């Protein structure tokens, strides 16, 4: 995982050096263990290795993942707990029937699943998640989208490492730019927003 952080930090050094200052140091073993006990299963080894180098980013206006915050483990726990509280309160049911999402093939049609672990946040309840409980056609550890008010769920990558590789390669190809107001954003999104 060090190679991915090295490439990402090199990109930041060239395009937005101040972002290097918002990276947390690596996560402790105890913090990861707390998260794994909470969710009741092990996290992918690639995810743990990645977070052992930098435990996400500080809360800042500048997001590291397409304008979204790369959550530290403590914030992952907070976001997960928020979704779990909503589930336990029955907020994903209507007249005792579950509210179903409209996912891609390979994702369960739950509105939210306790084994969807958010690792990014836009601050409005939308996330990228590691899916540790896929549908039979899916793959454990795939990366999916989770929208708080939209049932469409999309598979972004087959694993955390695949997602990371794709994202950093896209950065290096110039598909993303740094915008002071938002952080790292996809070039097309920024251009379309400013048209």
CA–centroid distance for 98 within its chain: 25
Residue 68 φ then ψ, to 5°: -95, 150
Number of domains the chain is built from: 1
For CA atoms 108, 113, 114, 116, the dihedral sign is positive
Q: Output the pLDDT for position 132.
A: 98
Is residue 9 included in any domain, yes or no? yes
Is residue 142 included in any domain, yes or no? yes
For CA atoms 46, 136, 83, 181, the dihedral sign is positive
d(CA 165, CA 125) in angstroms, rounded, equals: 25
Per-residue pLDDT tens listing for the chain (195 residues):
999 999 999 999 999 999 999 999 999 999 999 999 999 999 999 999 999 999 999 998 899 999 999 999 999 999 999 999 999 999 999 999 999 999 999 999 999 999 999 999 999 999 999 999 999 999 999 999 999 999 999 999 999 999 999 999 999 999 999 999 899 999 987 666 554
Q: Output the pLDDT for position 104.
A: 96
Q: Which domain does 38 fall in, by range?
A: 2-176
Query: pLDDT by residue (tens digit) across 30-59?
Result: 999 999 999 999 999 999 999 999 999 999
Query: pLDDT by residue (tens digit) across 100-109?
Result: 999 999 999 9
d(CA 80, CA 41) in angstroms, rounded, equals: 14
Is residue 181 included in any domain, yes or no? no
Is residue 186 included in any domain, yes or no? no
Q: How far, in Å, are 19, 179, 187 from residue 60 at the CA level?
A: 10, 13, 20
Is residue 131 included in any domain, yes or no? yes
Q: Output the pLDDT for position 194.
A: 56
Is residue 100 included in any domain, yes or no? yes
Domain CATH number, residue 132: 3.40.1580.10
Is residue 84 included in any domain, yes or no? yes
Question: With contact defined as beta carbons under 8 Å apart, do 128 and 112 qualify?
Answer: no
Query: Which two tokens mark 167?
Result: 């994202």
Is residue 195 included in any domain, yes or no? no
Q: Output the pLDDT for position 53.
A: 98
Return the axis-axis angle of helices 160-172 and 2-15, rounded to nearest 10°. 30
The secondary structure of residue 32, as a DSSP letter, is H
């Amino acid at each position: 995982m060090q190679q991915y952080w090295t490439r990402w930090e090199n990109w930041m050094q060239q395009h937005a050096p101040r972002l290097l200052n918002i990276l947390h140091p690596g996560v402790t073993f105890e913090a990861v263990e707390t998260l794994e006990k909470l969710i009741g299963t092990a996290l992918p080894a690639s995810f743990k290795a990645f977070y052992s180098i930098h435990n996400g980013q500080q809360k800042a206006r500048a997001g590291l993942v397409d304008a979204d915050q790369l959550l530290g483990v403590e914030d992952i726990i907070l976001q997960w707990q928020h979704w779990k509280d909503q589930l336990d309160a029955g907020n994903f049911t209507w007249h005792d029937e579950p509210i179903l999402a409209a996912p891609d093939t390979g994702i369960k049609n739950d509105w939210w699943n306790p084994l969807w672990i958010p690792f990014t946040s836009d601050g409005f309840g939308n996330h990228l998640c590691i899916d540790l409980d896929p549908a039979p056609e899916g793959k454990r550890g795939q990366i999916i989208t989770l929208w708080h008010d939209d049932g469409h769920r999309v598979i972004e990558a087959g694993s955390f490492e695949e997602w990371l590789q794709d994202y950093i390669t896209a950065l290096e190809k110039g598909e993303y730019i740094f915008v002071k107001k938002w952080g790292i954003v996809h070039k097309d999104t920024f251009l379309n927003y400013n048209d």
